[in-house]
Chains A and B, each alone.
Chain A
Amino acid sequence: MRCLVVAVCVLGGSISAAAQQTPASSARTSYTLATASFAGAGKPGEWTSQARDYANTRYSPLEQINATNVASLRLAWSFSDGTQYGHEGGPLVVDDTMYLVTPFPNIAFALDLTKPSPSVKWSFQPNPSPIAIGKACCDAVLRGWAFDDGKLIYNLLDAETVAVDVKTGKQVWRTRMDDPGRGVTMTMSAFTVDGKVFVGNSGGEMGINGWLAALDVTTGKELWRAHAVGPDSDVRLGPDFKPFYPQLEGKDLGVSSWPANMWRTGAGSSWGFISYDPDLKLIYYGTSNPGPRVPAQRPGDNLWTSTMFARDPDTGMAKWAYQFTPHDEWDYDGINEAVLLDMPINGKMRKTLVHFDRNTYAYTLDRTNGEVLVAKNFAYQNWSSGFDMKTGRPIVDPASEPKPGITLDRVCPPDLGQKDWEPPAFSPHTGLLYVGVFNICMKLTDHEVSYIAGTPYDGMEMTRFSVDGKDGDWGAFIAWNPATGTKVWSLPEKFMVMSGAIATAGDIVFYGTTDGWFRAVDAWTGKVLWSQKLGSGVIGQPVTYLGPDGRQYVAVAAGVGGAALVQKSRDGFPPRGNTLYVFSVNGDTIAAQDVPQASTAAAPAAVTPQ
C-alpha cells in the first residue's frame, strides 16, 4: 500500500521534472558505450562489498530515487558510533542487516533494518593496540570491510585481520599480519573472492616492506603473500609474468632498481581497493610510494612501487605489472583503484582498467596485458611535461624535482595527488566515471632521513595550498570520459572532495565534501539536484540500498579526518564526527507502529501519578 503511494508520487513527479529537463540531459546516448560485468554484486537492493561489485563500479541498479524526487530526500535515521577518527568506509547491507565498522578501535556493529532504526543487533570490540594510532600516517582510519561466507571480515589498525560471525557477533578467527611497532598499520578494506580474503599493509611513510596477502576465508590461514619490493621470489614473479613494457622485464628488478639493500625499507604498501575479473581470473591492485620519500637517497626506478599488479588470486603470481610513477619523487602512491570496464577505443573493443592516479594522469589500460591506451591529466599538474606513449612513462619536468635542502615553491599536485584513495563511480547509462578530485599544490623541502624502525622514513616538509592562490578552490567533482581521456563536466568545490562516489540507475550521482555537504547530481549534466550539510565533513563512501520496507535509502558517514586534515586551519573546516546519515524520499521509514514486535521502541505513553 505504501509502495503504491510512492509509485504514484514518483510518476506524478516525473511529469513536472521532464518539462524542466535541459536539452543536454535528454541526449541519452552513452558517451563511451562502456560496460562493466557487475559480477559479484548482491541482490539489486543490497550493497555487499565496498565497491558493490568486483569491477569496482559503485553502481546501483536502484532507480526509485531519481531526478524527479531527489530534491525531497530527508533524513530517515542516523547512527552515532562514538569513535573519533576519520570515517572512510561505507556500510554494507546484506539481506535486512547493515554492517558498520568504526575507525580505531575498529568496533563492528550489526543494525537490524527491519526495526525502527538504528537498532543494534550486536557489536564486537576487538581492542587493537593503541600503539598503532601513532604509526598511522594519515589518521587511525579504516577504508571498509568485507562480507563473505557468513562473516564480516576486516583489518585492525594494529595489523591484524579479523572475521566475525554475522549471526552471533563473535570472533571466528583473527590473524596477526605484521608488527605495528615497526610502523606497519592496516587501513585498507578487506576484499573477498572465491573463498579468499585479500589484505595489504599501510606504512609507506615508515620504511616498511609492502605486501598483499591472501587468507582463507574459513580459517584465516595465510595462503600467500606478495611483496612489492625485493627479489622475484618475494614479489611472486615467475614464468607467467609478462609485462607490456620492456623496462619492466628482467630478473629481480625489485632489488636492482634500488641502491644496495634499500629495497628492504622501500615501502610499496597496498592500502587501496582491489578489483577482480572473473573471466581473466585476475585481481588488480596498486602499490604505494617508495621509501624514503626523499628521492635523492634512492636513485633508480624503485620497482615495484607506485605500480599496478595483475595477479592470479589462487597463487598470487603476477601476470603483468605497470609502474605509474617510476622513481616517484613526490609521494605519488599508485594505490588508487582500478575500475574494470569494456569499451571501444579507436573503434576496437578493449577490456580496460581505468585508474585515476595521484600523479594526476587518468589511465585507461588494457587489463589483459598492462598496455597504456589513454593517459591524460584529469586536473592541474606541473611535475610532468608530457607522456611518452611508446615507453608508457610520464616525462618529468626537471624543475619540479626536489633536492635535499632546496625549497621548491610550487609543485602540483602535492603528496596527496589530485586524487587520493577516494573511489570513483561508473554509470553504464552515461558511460562516464565520476570522481572527487583536488586542486592543490605544495611548497616542498626535502630533508635527508635515516631509517629508524617505527619512526617516519619520510623527509618531505610541505605546506599545501590551492592551485588558484589564496582564495582558490581546493577540490572539484568531475565526470570523466575514459575512452578519450576528457573531462565532461566539473563542479568546483571550496574544500577537497575525498568521499567515494556512487552512481544509480536513477541517473543520480552522490558524493560528499570535506566541509560536510552531501550532494546528489544529475549524472548527465552535473547539475546539483540536492545538497544537505551534515554534522561533519564527508570522507566516507556513500551506498544505496532497498530497505525491508521496499524503500530506497542512501547512506553516508560524516566523520572528517584522514588526509583531509591538511585543511584543518582553513575557515569553515568542520570538527570531527561519527554519524551515519540515512536518507529517503521525504524521510519516510519504518515507524515503530509498523512493527508490532518493536513496540518497546515506540514513544512512551504518559503515565498519571496514582
Chain B
Amino acid sequence: MGALRLVIVALLAAGIAAALTGWVLNQRQISARRAYSYYPSPYSPIAPLGGVAGATPAPTAAETPNPLANDPAAVAEGHKLFMSMNCAGCHGYDAKGGMGPNLTDTYWRYGGTPERIYESILNGRPKGMPAWGLALPPQHIWQLVAFIQSLGGTVSSGMAQAAAEGNLPDKGQNKGASDQQ
C-alpha cells in the first residue's frame, strides 16, 4: 500500500517535472528562434553576425521566478529537504560550502537566478552535483530554491547580467577564495 502510494507520487512528480521543464525549455527555444529568425534555415550562422560567439545571453523578464519565493512555509520545507536529501553533507550545514560550493554568496558557477538554481538541482552539474529531477517533484525543488534564496546570496533577475559578467561585489563570504573552483 505504502509502496503503491510512493509509486503514484513518483509518477505524478515526474509528470509535473517533465511538464514544467518542457515549458522552461520551450520558452528558451522561442526566444532563441526570435534571435535567429532573420536567417532562413539551413543557412543560419552558428552565431549571429556581428555578435560575440559564446557570450552569455542577457536574461530577460521571461526568466521563471520562483513561485514560492519569500514563502516562510516553503523556506522551512526547503530547509528540511536540504537536510534530508543530504545537500548539507556537501554544501555544509550552514550552506557555506564544503565538498560542494558555497550557496550563500553571489558567486555562482552555473548562474544564481532562481531558474538557474532550479536547473542545477533538476539536472545536476558535471562536477558531481546529482540530478534530482527523478527524485523530487518541482514543488520540492522550488522549496529548496526558496530556502537557498532565503540565505541571501542568490542573484535576482535584475542582477543576473552583472553576475554573469562577474561584476557583483563579493560581500567577503569567500575569504581566502580558496574554494572558488
Contacts and interface: CB of A to CB of B under 8 A. Distances in A.
B68 interface: no
Tell me the dominant secondary structure on chain B's binding face.
loop
A575 interface: yes
B178 A568 contact: yes
A447 B99 contact: no
Interface stretch (A218-226, A297-305, A455-463): A455-463
A461 B93 contact: yes
- Indicate the size class of the contact surface on chain B: 20 to 34
Contacts of A576: 178
B34 interface: no
Nearest to A139: B99
Interface in A129-153: 130-138
Nearest to A183: B128
A610 interface: no
B126 A137 contact: no
Contacts of A118: none
Interface in B7-59: none
B176 A569 contact: yes
A461 B88 contact: yes
A84 interface: yes
B90 A455 contact: yes
B126 A452 contact: no
Nearest to B131: A454
Interface stretch (B70-78, B79-87, B138-146, B158-166): B79-87
B5 interface: no
A133 B128 contact: yes
A455 B85 contact: yes
A568 B99 contact: no
A575 B126 contact: no
Q: Indicate the member of A134, A135, A449 with the most B CB atoms within 10 Å.
A: A134
B89 A575 contact: no
Given A132-B128, A134-B99, A569 B175 contact: yes
A561 B128 CA distance: 18
A134 B127 contact: yes
B99 A575 contact: no
A85 B180 CA distance: 11
Contacts of B90: 134, 455-456
Nearest to B176: A568
B130 interface: yes
B147 to A, nearest CB: 16
Nearest to A84: B181
A133 B86 contact: no
Contacts of A450: 84, 86
22 contacts: A85-B181, A130-B128, A131-B127, A134-B100, A134-B125, A134-B129, A135-B99, A137-B99, A138-B99, A445-B93, A447-B88, A449-B86, A450-B86, A452-B85, A455-B90, A457-B89, A458-B86, A560-B178, A568-B179, A569-B176, A573-B176, A575-B177
Interface of A: 84-85, 130-138, 205, 445, 447, 449-450, 452, 454-459, 461, 560-561, 565, 568-569, 573, 575-576
